[in-house]
Amino acid sequence: MRRQSIKRDNPPTIPPALESGATTLGDPHVLNDVLTRPVPQDVARDERATEAPAPAAWTAPVLSGSGDAVVDLREAIRAKLTFALGRTPETARPRDWFAATALTLRERIVAAALASERGVPNKRVYYLSLEFLIGRLMSDALNNLGLTETTRSALRELGIDLDAVQEAEPDAALGNGGLGRLAACFMESMASIGIPAMGYGIRYDHGLFRQSFEDGWQREAPETWLAEGNPWEFARPEATYTIGFGGSVTLSSPEEGVIRRHWQPAETVRAVAHDVPVVGWRGRHVNGLRLWKAEAGEPVDLARFNGGDHVGAVAARMRAEAISRVLYPSDSSAEGQELRLRQEYFFTAASIQDLVARHVAERGDVRSLPDHAAIQLNDTHPAIAVPELMRVLLDVHGLSWEDAWHVTTHTLHYTNHTLLPEALETWPVELMERLLPRHMQIIYLINWMHLEEQAKHGRQDAAYLASISLIDESHGRRVRMGHLAFHGARRVNGVSALHTDLMRSTVFSDLHALDPDKIVNKTNGITFRRWFHNANPGLTRLAVETVGAGVLDDPELLRGLEARAEDPAFVARYAAVRRERKEALAALIAERTGIDVDPAALFDVQVKRIHEYKRQLLNVVETVALYQAIKAEPHRDWTPRVKIFAGKAAPSYVQAKLIIKLACDVAKAVNDDPEVADRLKVVFLPNYSVSLAESIIPAADLSEQISTAGMEASGTGNMKFALNGALTVGTLDGANIEIRDHVGAENIFIFGLEADGVRARQAEPDYAARAIQASPRLAAALDMIAAGRFSPEEPGRFRPLTDDLRRRDQYLLTADFDDYWRVQRAIDAAWRDPRGWWAKAIRNTARMAWFSSDRAMREYAEEIWRVRLG
Ligand code: 26W
């Protein structure tokens, strides 16, 4: 079936600006994709009809490039299905079609890479991260190559629905939350704006666990994204490095008057590269994400096997492979287990070897590394890069200490993502000495020189030296990875203005005083391609039609929407897009939880990792108070709300799991209470993921960003919601502050203590008990929970939560409760004024351009990496 058969009653309207952006990758018209993509639910499934009608929701016709492009793609996909996968169209499952399509797109990406090849770049960025929370890759690839509609047509001609194919892609959940998702956004932005870059991480067999609920309790199951292979990746067995652990350090015989040290590891593991291409917007640039898989040197110990010990024969292999087996599921608390340190060293050492080898091959002299490579350490997880790079320079390349230190401290940069004490990594000296003896020697020497330098300047008081030392001696001797990364880096950055200020004034204050220019701020960002164009094609299309297609390249043009914030025709269309997304989410909620929600109600959303500092409990307690208020006055004109939660708790985080259970138990009581009816519904969606976020965020009216001030380093979900037009209810924490500055204080709902107020309050004795006493509403809600109203079969179930609030309340829930209640009622009132509400929502969308990760990456490129855009 040829493309000509598709209806073309309206002439395509391709803005010339888009055509001029054409690449050699095919028909330039396909770059117009985002304009013409139907919203997912409008797409007819499995349509074989020759006369495919244009989906109802859009006015422009299908624009899929020339018929030839469709035919070429169709035949390429068919060939992949047959010859690469060995399936026939008749027997192929959606997963097979996904693989065939991905393999086909991968070829186009390689073609784009070759087309954009500009020889050896002058400088590359290496982004080292233990986590990359990528999600699905197909919509990124399709949209950035401008091939969505061509592919949709090609598959349709094969009787296949593109949406079903996309649904068959498993999420690559190689990360826990914000830090990992940020790394993924940054990779996409670097490819889009042309920063030559490579990401380095671990190819975990099992990403973040799958969450289900059993009677409201979180259950974890292994995640199996690689069960059927990964069609995006290229295995590169030729790029394999040997990584050592343990053993001892020997001295060489003095040659030319220098004594060299040699590390003789007791154990070695092989790191095998697997590359995932990252294609940027319009296919102009392609970068690589290199993920290391751990393998044993020898797959089997033949002598043991032949001796009959069949299990023991593969023990070493199991031990080696364990390194890349699973992602650690803890977020914001350091677990301190040996396997974690092995993971950190494994991927850091492989990456350093790889990039040094590339540099030497290209430039000859390792001393020029800082001119041609900028390494970014994503938090302290790769901080072992400091002594590892020193070791390679000293022991392998024979540099002097001074030269090696110069190269190291001019190549490395470090991003801090949290100041929570329990999340600051430290490793016992004893463990480091056993696992990485040479690195420990180097750390001692770095520290000795660092402290000696201070002594020379007369700063010898013990408390001061203890505070800047790389070794914490207050409870056993432990290496402070944050101090190590700080000291070894040329620049250190925080991820929002407030967070960076707090870095300077708290955890790193003494180190900051030694080098006041070292700490810089780089407020986080999000990639608009995924979180706006792909997640919300309806709103994107409305923006394009209103301010022009240039908005796809320059989000600053969103500003043009401001003028329409009170234009009834525009507001109606904006509201219609939201309504359509809410209906889709309501259907998903019904399917996954059995709960019916009314799409006309206010969708109030808190989705993120479950952590006490993020204060999901504040939201749940407010829900209970609202429930009580509705019960007390059932006939009042309540604003109908749906409270939507999603998020995973670390499997070992008992308190967080109990908060989930409370949310689920409150949901049951509220949803089953006929007196409440549609005025309040509570939903906990299981298994939060990047893909689920893409469905939830465009459907949100209200975005909950309610962490205790000073504790959320930045947040990035807050940006995704505001861009999509949800209004924020939030504290002055992290990037919420900058969001308020951009969208305007009248378009955001701020409440609660500020960071300094939090500190002052924490110093007051019995602050929680007094706050509860002063708030009858809070006291009543807590009493209801503590009395077992939501857990009649086990009345004391939630006492650990309520007791903690009464006695300690580290996260100041009690201090902020009344103000939170007040602002929520102001939100109820605002919702009852639709014109006012939509004007605020539109102004949010219009003013969020600055939060693009393209902006963040440009700042890093100019002010940290000093790298030119390609
Ligand atoms: C060692 C255990 C551990 C694991 C992960 C400690 C700390 C982490 C991360 C630093 C936690 C994290 O994801 N931090 C988040 O980073 C985001 C991106 O900068 C910020 O937006 C979030 O505010 C911050 O919590």
Amino acid, single-letter form, for residue 122: N
Q: Which residues contact 845 (CB under 8 A, 6 or more apart)?
A: 539, 543, 558, 561, 722, 723, 724, 725
Q: How far is Cα 78 from Cα 72, in angstroms, rounded to an integer?
A: 10
CA 110 to chain centre: 25
Instruction: Give me the domain span that covers residue 761.
Output: 575-845
pLDDT of residue 692: 98
Whether residue 83 is predicted with pLDDT greater than 70 in this model: the reply is yes
CA of 274 to the centre of ligand 1 (A): 25
pLDDT of residue 57: 26
Alpha helix ranges (H) inside 247-394: 302-306, 315-321, 338-363, 369-372, 385-391
For ligand 1, residues with CB inside 6 Å are 177-179, 182, 330-334, 379, 417-418, 423, 425, 495, 524, 712-716, 734
Amino acid code (one letter) for 381: H
Q: Is the pLDDT of residue 11 over 60?
A: no
pLDDT at 595 over 90: yes
Whether 232 contacts 106, CB under 8 Å: yes
**Which atom of ligand 1 is closest in space to residue 715's alpha carbon?**
21
Q: Tell me which residue has its CA closest to atom 16 in ligand 1.
A: 179
Task: Report yes or no on 105 lying in a domain.
Answer: no
The whole-number average pLDDT for the span 829-852 is 98
For 329, phi and psi rounded to 5 degrees? -85, 10
pLDDT beyond 90 at 115: no
Do residues 764 and 832 lie in contact, with contact meaning Cβ atoms separated by under 8 Å?
no
H helices then E strands: how many in the chain? 35, 24
For residue 734, which atom of ligand 1 is closest to its CA? 23
pLDDT band at 256 (very low <50, low <70, confident <90, very high): low
Q: Determine contact, residues 500/524, Cβ cutoff 8 Å.
A: no
Distance 331 CA to ligand 1 centre (A): 7
Q: What is the per-residue pLDDT for 116?
A: 81
C-alpha 788 – ligand 1 centre gap (Å): 34
**DSSP secondary structure string for all residues of 378-417:** ESSTTTTHHHHHHHIIIIIT---HHHHHHHHHTTEEEE--
Q: What ligand 1 atom has the least distance to the C-alpha of 415?
A: 19
Domain tally, the chain: 1
* Model pLDDT for residues 156-197, shown as the tens digit of each residue: 999 999 999 999 999 999 999 999 999 999 999 999 999 999
pLDDT at 333: 82
**Tally of CA atoms within 13 A in the half-sphere of 649 that contains its CB:** 26
Please state, in angstroms and rounded to a whole number, the distance separating the CA atoms of residues 139 and 657.
Answer: 33
Strand, coil or helix: 335: coil
Segment (H or E) for 149: helix 148-157
3-state helix, strand, coil in the chain (%, to 5): 50, 15, 35
- pLDDT tens digits, 759-777: 999 999 999 999 999 999 9
Residue 515 banded pLDDT, cuts 50, 70, 90: very high
Mutate to test the pocket of ligand 1, among 379, 422, 811 (most ligand atoms within 8 A of CB): 379
Quote the pLDDT of residue 50.
Answer: 29
Residues 6+ apart with CB under 8 A from 245: 265, 266, 267, 268, 269, 342, 345, 435, 436
Phi, psi of 748 (to 5 degrees): -150, 150
Q: Is 809 left (phi over 0), alpha (psi -120 to 50) or beta?
A: left
CATH no. for residue 793? 3.40.50.2000
Q: Is 218 helix (H, G, I), strand (E, B) or coil?
A: strand
Residue 159 within any structural domain of the chain:
no
**Residue 341 CA to ligand 1 centre (angstroms):** 17
Mutate to test the pocket of ligand 1, among 127, 128, 179, 731 (most ligand atoms within 8 A of CB): 179
Pocket test for ligand 1, best of 332, 481, 708 (most atoms within 8 A of CB): 332
Ligand 1 centre and the CA of 734: distance in Å?
12
In this predicted structure, which of 59-63, 268-272, 601-605, 758-762 has the lowest mean pLDDT? 59-63
The whole-angstrom separation of Cα 584 and Cα 696 is 9
C-alpha 560/C-alpha 849 separation (Å) is 11
Average pLDDT (222-226) is 98
- 100-125 b/e with 16+ CB inside 10 Å = b? bbbbbbbebbebbbeebeeeebebbb
Encoded tokens for 482 = 């944050």
Task: Specify the residue with its C-alpha closest to ligand 1, atom 7.
Answer: 332
Nearest atom (ligand 1) to Cα of 182: 18
Assign 331 a pLDDT band (cuts: 50, 70, 90).
confident
Q: Which helix (H) or strand (E) holds 125?
A: strand 124-128
Q: How confident is the model at residue 8 (pLDDT cuts 50, 70, 90)?
A: very low
- Residue bearing the CA closest to ligand 1, atom 22: 715
Closest-CA residue to 219 (of 649, 682, 588, 791):
649
Give residue for tokens 């006015």: 59
Residue type at 50 in one-letter notation: T
Confirm if 413 and 863 have CB atoms less than 8 A apart: no
Token pair of 746, please? 């009248």
* Closest-lying ligand 1 atom to the alpha carbon of residue 381: 1
3-state SS class at 229: coil
The letter for the amino acid at 506 is: T
Cα 481 to averaged position of ligand 1 atoms, centre (Å)? 15
Task: State mean pLDDT over 145-161.
Answer: 98
- Closest atom of ligand 1 to 180 CA is 13
At residue 15, the pLDDT reads 29
Structure tokens at 228: 């059927």
Domain presence at residue 54? no
Q: Is residue 819 part of a domain?
A: yes
The pLDDT tens digits for 705-762 are 999 999 999 999 999 999 999 999 999 999 999 999 999 999 999 999 999 999 999 9
If you measure from the C-alpha of residue 442 to the centroid of ligand 1, how many angstroms do you get, rounded to a whole number? 28
Q: CA nearest 260: which of 53, 130, 132, 400? A: 400
Mean pLDDT in residue range 191-207: 98
Distances from the Cα of 750 to the Cαs of 709, 732, 825, in angstroms?
Answer: 11, 7, 13
Nearest C-alpha to atom 1 of ligand 1 is from which residue? Answer: 334
Report the pLDDT value the prediction gives residue 118, as an integer from 0 to 100. Answer: 79
Return the pLDDT at 111: 94
Task: Tell how far the Cα of 53 is from the centroid of ligand 1, in angstroms.
Answer: 47
Task: Name the residue with tokens 């990039």.
Answer: 355
Supply the residue whose CA is at minimum distance from atom 10 of ligand 1. Answer: 417
* Residue identifier of the C-alpha nearest atom 13 of ligand 1: 179
- Give CA separation, 487 vs 443, 608, 738, 863, in Å: 11, 32, 29, 19
- The reply to whether 632 falls in a domain is yes
Say yes or no to pLDDT of 702 above 50: yes
Q: Which atom of ligand 1 approaches the CA of 495 most closely?
A: 19
Question: For the chain, how many residues are written?
Answer: 870
User: Is the separation of the CB atoms in 106 and 137 below 8 Å?
Assistant: no
Nearest to 138 by CA among 694, 866, 729: 694
**What pLDDT is stored for residue 30 in this prediction?**
29
Ligand 1: centre distance to CA 76 (Å): 42
CB 476 within 8 A of CB 505: no
Residue 469 lies in a domain: no
Q: What mean pLDDT is reported for the chain? A: 92
**Local structure of residue 522 (DSSP, 8 states):** -
pLDDT value of position 27: 30
Q: In terms of pLDDT, which residue wins out, 54 or 707?
A: 707
Q: Residue 332: which pLDDT band, with cuts at 50, 70 and 90?
A: confident
Q: How far is the CA of 802 from the centre of ligand 1 (A)?
A: 27
% of the chain beyond a pLDDT of 90: 89
- Average pLDDT over every residue of 602-619: 98
Q: Is residue 323 part of a domain?
A: no
Distance 696 CA to ligand 1 centre (A): 22
Question: Model confidence at 47, in pLDDT bands (50, 70, 90)?
Answer: very low
Residue with CA at minimum distance from ligand 1 atom 12: 179
Band of residue 68 on the pLDDT scale cut at 50, 70, 90: very high
How far CA 14 is from CA of 140, 152, 154, 554, in Å, comes to 21, 19, 21, 17
In whole angstroms, what is the distance from residue 536 CA to residue 845 CA? 12
CA distances from 299 to 229, 234, 320, 333 (A): 21, 22, 10, 35
Query: Closest by alpha carbon to 536, among 845, 840, 279?
Result: 845
pLDDT at 108 over 80: yes
Q: By three-state DSSP, how is residue 295 classified? A: strand
Residue 66: pLDDT band by 50, 70, 90 thresholds?
low
Which atom belonging to ligand 1 lies closest to the Cα atom of 340? 1
CA dist 434 and 20 (Å) reads 59
Q: Which ligand 1 atom minimizes the distance to the CA of 177?
A: 13
pLDDT of residue 259: 81
Ligand 1 mutation pick, 127, 418, 527, max ligand atoms within 8 A of CB:
418
Average pLDDT score over residue span 71-79: 98
**Which residue bears the tokens 């790029």?**
239
Q: Please provide the DSSP assignment of 493-505 as one string.
A: EESSHHHHHHHHH
Q: How far apart are the first and last CA of the chain?
A: 41
What average pLDDT score do residues 642-646 get?
A: 99
Q: For 395-426, b where at least 16 C-beta lie within 10 A, e where not — what string? A: bebebeeeebbbbbbebbbbbbbbbbeebbbb
Residue 547 corresponds to which tokens in the numbers above? Answer: 């301010």
The residue whose CA has the least distance to atom 8 of ligand 1 is 332
Rg (CA), the chain: 28
Check whether 42 has a pLDDT greater than 70. no
Residue 269 — φ and ψ, nearest 5°? -130, 145
Instruction: Output the CA torsion 593→598→601→607 (10° steps).
Output: 20
Which tokens belong to 850? 């600055």
Q: Is residue 591 part of a domain?
A: yes
Active site residues per annotation: 417, 608-609, 614, 716, 720
